[in-house]
A = this chain, B = another copy of it.
């Protein structure tokens, strides 16, 4: 047994979808969440900057006596996982590997599409992880920079969302993919229009769903689950604006959260 909490971080609010999965699958675990709302988004930034930010956040989370870290952000997982795993002496799980395994198991014709931020696509993280799993799979990757602002504007199912999805996903015409990885935590919010434009024969993969499973396996392996004698107390931290974060968190988690605290992440 290990009573210490799990650290989870994201560039903003998107990682709360991962938190919800962890709460569902591991209801006794305590979670410390950090959302980098002052420096969001990461998707257009360099590997070096994203890695620097990830390290600051991990240093902050490690002051909270945590037992493991989940990088709930695709861009940070893609660009900094290897480096932070080398740097810090704590188990760190990203979203890419679980998502890649799930996609590899789902495809029947060995043709997988991947959409994500510029930094995620540039890193080739999903491509490499999928090919490591099955070298016969062909991948087709595309960055969709407008999907995050569309989701944040709440325009997830109107004619603008449809037109933008159509314009981006044109790229996959005639690629005959049967599986499409939603390689950014915001994209599942647009899944209806993405499914409509991609076609019903394409399976959409949401890596967030797989991460909680990987965490559970890791904790079981290390005999590191928390016992249930006391119900878990979760904590939420952000680098900007707690009010807006709390509103979105309540929607994403389908329950109200304890007051989020703002910290100066640049000091870590």
A contact residues vs B (CB 8 Å cutoff): 37-40, 44-46, 48-49, 145-146, 148-150, 152-153, 155, 158-160, 163-164, 167, 239-241, 266
**Nearest Cβ distance between residue A145 and chain B, in whole angstroms?**
5
Question: In the assembly, what is the distance between CA of A64 and CA of B134, in Å?
Answer: 55
Shortest CB–CB separation between residue A4 and chain B, in angstroms?
29
Number of copies: 2
Q: Name A45's contact: one of B45, B49, B160, B241 (CB within 8 Å).
A: B241
Q: Quick check: B241 and A46 within 8 Å, CB to CB? A: yes
Bound-state CA distance A72–B5 (Å) is 44
Bound complex: CA of A252 vs CA of B138, how far in Å?
39
Please provide the 10 A-B residue pairs with the shortest distance between their CB atoms, ordered closest to farther: A149-B149, A266-B266, A46-B241, A49-B240, A38-B49, A39-B39, A46-B240, A145-B153, A160-B163, A45-B240
Determine how close the nearest CB of chain B comes to the CB of A136; give it in whole angstroms.
Answer: 34
Using Cβ atoms and an 8 Å threshold, which residues of chain B touch A164? 160
Cα(A103)–Cα(B49), bound, Å: 39
Chain B residue with the shortest CB-CB distance to A41: B41
Q: How distant is the Cα of A72 from the Cα of B159 in the complex, in angstroms?
A: 34
Closest B residue to A148 by beta carbon equals: B149
Chain B hits for A240, CB < 8 A: 45-46, 48-49
Shortest Cβ gap from A178 to chain B (Å): 28
**Nearest chain B CB to A256 CB, angstrom units:** 21
Partner of A38, one of B39, B153, B159, B163: B39
